[in-house]
A and B are shown apart, each in its own frame.
Chain A
Amino acid sequence: DQQVKQNSPSLSVQEGRISILNCDYTNSMFDYFLWYKKYPAEGPTFLISISSIKDKNEDGRFTVFLNKSAKHLSLHIVPSQPGDSAVYFCLYNQGGKLIFGQGTELSVKP
């Protein structure tokens, strides 16, 4: 029972272009989402979050969009840089319990 779904296991993008990572969720009661980034042999690190009272949150090159009617989030990275190559997780925080998606491995090619 996957409550947060990232259907693309991998994504390859050219440096300087836009990366779009997608995430779907099943529970319309979910109200606070996060994106974390993970490099190999390291723990995940917080990237950006969004509350359901908003439909967009921007932080530098990173923007998260929330479409509540479609139960869909997306993370946009523009411009993409080789250092952005990592696994990106979409998460819901359920009272302190983080519910992770399966992750999307982003590769940004120079």
Chain B
Amino acid sequence: NAGVMQNPRHLVRRRGQEARLRCSPMKGHSHVYWYRQLPEEGLKFMVYLQKENIIDESGMPKERFSAEFPKEGPSILRIQQVVRGDSAAYFCASSPPDRGIYEQYFGPGTRLTVT
């Protein structure tokens, strides 16, 4: 059973470009969570999704950021018009429907660098 997959592992974008980060949850997991780790900080919750539904987006910046988890395919975190402050490690986690309030399983992260 493969773990949570994230790609790309490293992404470099110039200011103003778009960044798309992908997350494939573990098999059988229908809940996906995105977290961001800024340099020298702990991880911060961004968004919680089920298939085709956003459950909690209280940690998402109000502008430029969006997330989706379609019926088919990976979850996508999209950042439009990136700025230097978006440089961070972005982690995706997944859980089965009845276990998300307990533990979550994390992917290896995507390291975004904005130049």
Contact = CB atoms under 8 A, between A and B. Distances in A.
Interface residues of B, number: 27
Contact of A100 (B4, B42, B55): B42
Interface of A: 32, 34, 36, 41-46, 49, 89, 93, 95-103
Interface of B: 4, 31, 33, 35, 41-45, 48, 55-56, 58-59, 91, 93, 95, 100-109
B102 A93 contact: yes
Nearest to A36: B106
B33 A96 contact: yes
B108 A41 contact: yes
Contacts of A32: 101-102
Nearest to B41: A102
Given A43-B93, A43-B109, A95-B56, A100 B43 contact: yes
A97 B95 CA distance: 12
